[in-house]
Structure formats: structure tokens, C-alpha cells
Structure 1
Amino acid sequence: MENFIPVCEPALLGNEKKYLLDAVESGWISSAGKYVSEFETQFAKYCGVEHGIGVCNGTVAIHLALVALGIGKGDEVIIPNFTMIATAFAVCYTGAIPVFVDADPNSWNISIEKIEAKITSKTKAIIPVHIMGLVCDMDPILALAKKYNLSVIEDAAEAHGAEYKGKKSGSFGHLATFSFFANKNLTTGEGGMVVTNDSKFASKSRYYKNLCFPLEGAREYNHADIGFNYRISNLHAAIGLAQLEKAEQYTEMRINNFKNYQKLLSEIKGISTQVWDETVYKHVHWMNAIKVDPIVYGRSRDELMDILKKEGIDSRKLFNGMHTQKSLREYGCVMEGEYTVTEDLSRNGLYLPSSSTLTLSQVNRICDVINGAKI
């Protein structure tokens, strides 16, 4: 369709082709090569931590972090109910049970007030997910973790460069994980990263991601533990390094997109977004998500999405709650409980086109359609 606006396209405005061609010409196209180590080092530095461990996607990054912490069968891990299901699946890979906590009605992140009630003697970790590019309120989460001797893994898949009280996402937990899928603010196409300040956890992550080959000495093909093939390729890392060189530019582009949306959407009754304190949080707007109040707006979320589609504008529904997932019920998760905020977001939420390269004229067009559809 002419003038079609996709929900998200990668911005490849730097040295991606140059570095990728260099990697190909060097012959190092698999999991060894200079770009892997350089990308790991520079991304860890970008987050303000000591160690980066590149992997093949964000889901396995969470799994690897859990394995490094020794999480396994019989353990419980607290996660947001409102999140991409990858967070829950990664916990399941270990044999542990994900335990769900409803979302906060303002930030849409995990509700701080509801975490403690879900902690039991089996709880071993909390995974706060920084939804849509907004860091969770980390101080009370870390205080709870300290009180109950729990580990914290930040799922920062949606929050490259986001900040809380002046510190970047990925620098708060015992470990943190990132995704570099094509729609992320920084992308490698497919890829992920575990970051940490703890050298022990870094070594375990490196060990388990590469089939448990010894980290030092000759490769004898004797394996003491069951490991995983979670390596990132030199090709993907080459793209990642080029992306990282323009991280601040890409971040500002996403923030600017939101500001353009905000000016127009704030005038439309029945449309709302996340709420946060800009003196505490730097939101990087992975996706420009909105919630539709069908009574005030006059149309349902699904009706609005249909109208946008007819006008050549792509959009996506927000996540379904973990408590509704058949796979997790059959796995053995406790599905009962009140998750009113998650249900509201799942029923009424969507995200709009959010490419870094989105133009002001495109934003104006999208908002004109949303305003025109209001009854």
C-alpha cells in the first residue's frame, strides 16, 4: 500500500554495512571475531557495568542469567503479569515457576505495592521488566530483594539507554538482559546481551552459553555440565557495534517521536499513555503505546486498530496477561488472582508506529486518523 506506515523499522544509519562487510571479508562470521568482544565491552561500558556477554537473542539472555544464579526446579521467580511471554518462558526453561504480579496503573511496570505479598520461602529472584522503555522503580525492588535475600535480574529488552535517577538500565540488578531484535532501539537483527558487575556471574554466563566448554585451557571436549549453544555471531555483533556508536542519536529520535505524539494525543479525550516523573526517569520510548477508554473515546481499541489499518497505518495490541496463557497454566503456574490493570491494558492498549526514523508528517497523519475516528 502506498504511504503505508509500518509499526517499526530498524534505523541503519551508521557503519553497519562497513563493519558487516569487514567481518565477512575477514572470514570470521561465526561466534569468534573482533566484533563480538568489542561489542560486549562497549555495550557493558554504555550500561555502566563491568561485563557484557553476547548471546543469540533476548529470551536466552534471561535464561542464561537465571542459570548463572543457580535458579532451578522447586524455585519461584516473581515477574510482571504484564510482559512479553518470553520473560515467563525463560523461567520455565529452568524448571522454576514464574509468579505473576499485576501492573501499576500509571507506569504499567510491575506494581511495587503488590510484590511482597507474592514472596514465599521458594522465591529466589525478581525480574522487573522495563515496559516500553520506562525503567521500573528500582529502589524499593532492590530493598525488597535485600530484605528477603533475593536476586534481581533486570529484563531491559525494551529499555536500551533508559535511566532511573541518573543511572542507565542494566546497572541495577545482579544481572540484566537485553534484546537486539529488529524493532528495538538498538538492533542486531537477532541478538541479546547479559550484563553484570559480578565477575562470578559473568564467568558462569560465558561458560554455560558455549556448551560448557572450559573458559581457559585446551578444548578437550569433556563437558562437566549441561550447557547451551547461545552464542552471538561476529556478523550480528558487527551490526551491534555500529548501532551502539549512534545510540544517543537513536535514543533522541525515539524521545522526539514521543514528544510529537504527546502534543497531539494529549488533546484527544479517551487516549492515555504511561505516566512517569521526568525528574526521576528517562523514558526511551521503545514503542509509543496508548490506552483507549472506549466510553470516553467512543470506540474500542480494536475498532481504532481497524480504522488505522484501512488508512495504511500499522499497529499492535499490547501483551496479554501471563495469567491468561494456556501454556503457563499447563506448566503449573498459579493463574488465579486479581490482575485488573493488566486486563485493562490487554483489552484497551495498543502501540503505534515507533520507528526511530518516523517523520513529523507521519506522526501528524497518524494522530489525525485517531482524532478523526473519535465519536
Structure 2
Amino acid sequence: MATITLYANKINSLPEIIRTAKSSVSSYKEELAQLITGALNVNSDVCSLEETISSLRSSTDTQEDKIDTLEDIADDVEDYADEVVEIDDDAAEAISTSKEDFYDTYEYLRPECEQEEKSWWESFCDGVASVGEWCKEHWKAIVTVVIVIVAVAIIVATGGTAIGPMAALLAMAKGALIGAIVGGISGGVISKLTGGSFLQGLEEGAFGGAISGIIAGGLGHVFSAAGSVDLSLGKTMLIGGIGDSGATMITDLGDIIIKGDRMSVGEFIFDAVFSFGVGSISAGITNKLADRWPLKIEGINKGRGSWRHVWRTQMRRSLNNNTRVSLKTILKGLGAEVIDGVWDYGFEFPKGAIGNVKDWFGLFPDTDDDDD
């Protein structure tokens, strides 16, 4: 459009150039007339006066024809320039209309440099839409943050100890908090090692760990009769399988409902069954490893005065005397539980890598590409 305008401007200057040429021809014609007058006084012995005058008159007639032709050309060029300018204006209006129609349909493609053309309300709506898109894409991170905040609030409010229904809620809160931390770290590291984004792996791992921790914490509390009975190997494997399978199903359902991802029923079932198998097997292996080689660190989860001993002592006093457990003791107690379950949490790394088997073997190609 800018090229057309420049072209039109150049055309507009042509009539002036042509009229300048016409002026030059007119001057030349006048000089010829003066030359004719002078030639009449020339002696016939010097040259043929008749031939000279005839030649000069012929040249004068030619210059008059040129003047008329140049005037006609100047008029034609002016008409052409007016037509070009009119076409340029119509084209600019059509292009502007088409551009706005396009951006009305595909607003997200509007360049940032054109944001100034929008009203404040349009800019506000675009900002809200952008926030909505981000929330939809990172819904797992948002849910994980909410779960962690609620879990910390429950642990702090109860002092890390409770009876009755609150005891089950407390166990789920502990599982969620530890699961989010361990799952996030392992997920981020695995994603980075396999060529992905650490932050994306952190988001996925933290969410899966939090959900798995909630399920495993609640089932563990129920199956162990509030911690008064040691879990058998079978129950441990069942809890591990249900926890991982439940986390996978909730993740897939969330991606389908919130993000709009496409997933076949076969893929959904495969994810759930595979996660159950990996979770139950890993729980069984880590249970045996913990029994065989328990990790005991003096001052943390071993001996009097350790973090675990102080935490459990204050928990009993809290139940008997209705006192509060200090936040520092709660955090140390959670740290001792992490050391107790180091085999479980350490196995999150190989378990997370095994979870990529679907991608390794291309069992379920991305069906979204079919629509392209």
C-alpha cells in the first residue's frame, strides 16, 4: 500500500515536468520566429533565403505540434494520477477492513505493535483471556499450590497430631506435602535428563506426587488402623498401586476437561493400569529394601533427642494436655519422615523414567495432528 502511494506521488509530479518541457519548446519556437525575421535581411548571395525560410517555417510547425502533444500528455497524466490516487484510497480502505475482520476472528494473532489501536476495554479483555489461557495450560501447578497451602494449614493447625477423622485428614495432608516436594524434584530432574523442560517436569511431578500422597496417606491410615498396625506387603503394594493409578487418572481427566486434550479410552485405561502396576511393584520393592537396609541417621530419625523422638513426644503431650506443637518441631518431624521413606522417595526417579514407556514405544501417537 505504501508503494502504491509513492507511485501515485511520482505520477502527480509528471504533469509539472511535462509542462516545463512545453515551456522550453515554446521558447524554442519564439527563437525560431526571431530567426525567420533575421533571415529576411540576409543577402541572397550568402545563402538561399527561400530555402532557409521554408526550413525555419517547417521547424516552427513541428514545435507547435510538439507543444500540442505535450499539453495532451500532461492532461492525460493528470487524469491517470487522479485515478491512481482514488484506487490507492479504495485499496487502503479494503486492506484495513480485511485486516480488522481477520483480527476479529483471530485476535490472538494481532501483533503487539497494534495493541495501541485497541480500546482499554479490549486490552483488558485480552489480558483476562491471556490469564485464562495460562491458567488452563498450567492448571496442575495452580491445584498443587492450593493443595500444599491447605496441607500446611492442616499440619500447623493440628500440630502434626490428631485423633479420629482429623487423624486421617492429617495423614493425607502429610502425604500431599511430602509427595508434592519429592514428586516435583524427581519429575523436574527426569524431564531435564530426557531433554525436556525442568519446570514442566516439576509441575507434572509435583501434582502427581501430591495426589498420590493424598490417596496413599488416607489409605495407609485406614489400612494400618490409624498407625497402630504394621502394613503387610500386599496392602503396601495395593496402596502404592492405587495412589499412582489415581494420580494418573486425575491428571488425564484434568487435561481432557480443562485443556481440551484428546485421548482415546484405550490410552486412558492403559495409563491407569500401567501406573497401578508400576506403583504396586515399586511399593513392594521399596518396602523390602527398607526392611533390609533401613536408613537410620542419629539425631534425625534415630535415638533420644532426635527429630522424630522430639516430634512424637510433643505429639503425645499435645493429645494429653491439649498443648500445641511448635512449627520448628513439626518441620523436623516431617524431615524425619522423609528419611524414613527415603527408599520410597528415591525410587520416584526410576519409576518416573519407566512412566515414559508409552512415549518411548509410540503406543499412542498424538491424535491432534490428524486435524492439521
Q: Does TM-score exceed 0.5, indicating one fold? A: no
TM range (shorter): under 0.3
Q: Which has the higher strand share?
A: 1
User: Whose RCO is larger (CA < 8 A, sep 6+)?
Assistant: 1
TM-score of the aligned structures, taking structure 1 as reference length: 0.27
Q: Which has the higher helix share?
A: 2
Larger radius of gyration: 2
